[in-house]
Amino acid sequence: MEKGFIQSLLGQVKEKKSHVCVGLDPDLRRFPPAIREKIDGGNCSKKEISKAFLKFNKQVIDAVQEFAIAIKIQIAWFEEYGHWGLEALESTLEHARKKDLLTILDIKRGDIGNTAGAYARAYLGFVNVGGGKQESGFDAQAITLNPYLGKDSLLPFFEIMKERNRGAFILVKTSNPGSYHIQDQVLRSGKSVYEHTAQLVDEWSRDLIPKGSFYSNLGAVVGATYPDAARCLRQIMPRSYFLVPGFGAQGGRAEDLIPFFNEDGLGAVINASRSIIYAFAESAEGVPWPRAVEEAANSMRKDINLVLRQAGLGQ
């Protein structure tokens, strides 16, 4: 069995002394001039734009590889451009793996029966190609999942996670302001929907703990913008790693991250997208744009580590 997702993640944390995940949300309108100027004429095809995506993504990955432990890729930006976009996505995943960065594919899938199985094979497993042969699909090391349809919609993913030692993060308390419309609603038990979901994740996660590991391959998405909720959720799900979006551009701050971690200084991977990959927009004139991205990733790593040290947590 190949090395597991959570084991690889913990290894990266130790090696790089980092909890940073960089989100790849390639927005053509915000690309650096050196890339955007070639497609600003208005006559470009989806193929050419997707090539620009790949070029941008590769340079971001190269810039942050020393300081980030993972790349979180939002699939929607690629789906917009059809099969050319998905080809760019596959190549982005491949490049990240070559640079020893963990790949988290943000797909937020959740469906039932055969459909769930097809999704699971597409993103984590293998597909049959004839003659008894199998090939991997997108081959991400971890994905995000939506639990709204219940456990049976997640079981096909869990099965492949066991087979391939892959990871997943279930949406529990998301960073968007409108999350309260559903996630904060109080059930008859007196618990919120997100607390109830967390209890289910904790139950499901126990069967996905690799031998010799404290942490499970099944984690939870908990937004950086809700540290009070994180404090409660950390108690409910001690063995689940948190994927924490919302840092930086969405308002999440380093000083608010302590509740997301366990006492061992582990348990959370902090994601920043726009504040890292478009950092060049705020950099001094003459600074190469990849250098600005690199410096932003390193600065984020330092800020998080400082807060953890001040709280008596971490390495």
Tens of pLDDT, residue by residue over 80-139, are: 999 999 999 999 999 999 999 999 999 999 999 899 999 999 999 998 888 889 999 899
Is the model's pTM score more than 0.85? yes
Greater confidence (237 vs 247) lies with 237
Asked whether the predicted pLDDT for residue 252 surpasses 90, the reply is: no
Report how far residue 137's alpha carbon sits from residue 266's, in angstroms, rounded to the nearest whole number: 31
Token code pair at residue 223 = 């937004």
Token code pair at residue 44 = 């470009």
pLDDT tens track for 142-183: 999 999 999 999 999 999 999 999 999 999 999 999 999 999
Report how far residue 146's alpha carbon sits from residue 172's, in angstroms, rounded to the nearest whole number: 9
Query: How much is the pLDDT for 36?
Result: 81
268 three-state secondary structure: strand
- Please name the residue that has the structure tokens 């597909």: 127
The residues that are catalytic are 108
Asked whether the predicted pLDDT for residue 1 surpasses 50, the reply is: no
Token code pair at residue 246 = 């919302």
Asked whether the predicted pLDDT for residue 40 surpasses 90, the reply is: no
pLDDT band at 292 (very low <50, low <70, confident <90, very high): very high
Asked if 214 and 265 touch (Cβ cutoff 8 Å), the reply is no
pLDDT band at 2 (very low <50, low <70, confident <90, very high): low
Asked whether the predicted pLDDT for residue 37 surpasses 90, the reply is: no
pLDDT band at 287 (very low <50, low <70, confident <90, very high): confident
Asked if 109 and 79 touch (Cβ cutoff 8 Å), the reply is no
Nearest CA to 151 out of 202, 194, 208, 200 is that of 200
Query: How much is the pLDDT for 42?
Result: 58
pLDDT band at 249 (very low <50, low <70, confident <90, very high): low
Question: Which structural domains are found in the chain, ordered by start?
Answer: 5-310 (3.20.20.70)
Report how far residue 207's alpha carbon sits from residue 298's, in angstroms, rounded to the nearest whole number: 35
Percent of the chain exceeding pLDDT 90 equals 83
pLDDT tens track for 206-231: 999 999 999 999 999 999 999 999 99
Asked if 240 and 219 touch (Cβ cutoff 8 Å), the reply is yes
Query: How much is the pLDDT for 60?
Result: 97
Report how far residue 219's alpha carbon sits from residue 268's, in angstroms, rounded to the nearest whole number: 9
pLDDT band at 253 (very low <50, low <70, confident <90, very high): confident
Token code pair at residue 154 = 């997640």
Nearest CA to 216 out of 165, 171, 265, 261 is that of 165
Query: How much is the pLDDT for 288?
Result: 92
Chain-wide mean pLDDT for the chain?
A: 93
Percent of the chain exceeding pLDDT 70 equals 97
* Average pLDDT for 173-201: 96
Report how far residue 191's alpha carbon sits from residue 172's, in angstroms, rounded to the nearest whole number: 13
Provide the greatest CA pair distance for the chain.
59
pLDDT band at 269 (very low <50, low <70, confident <90, very high): very high
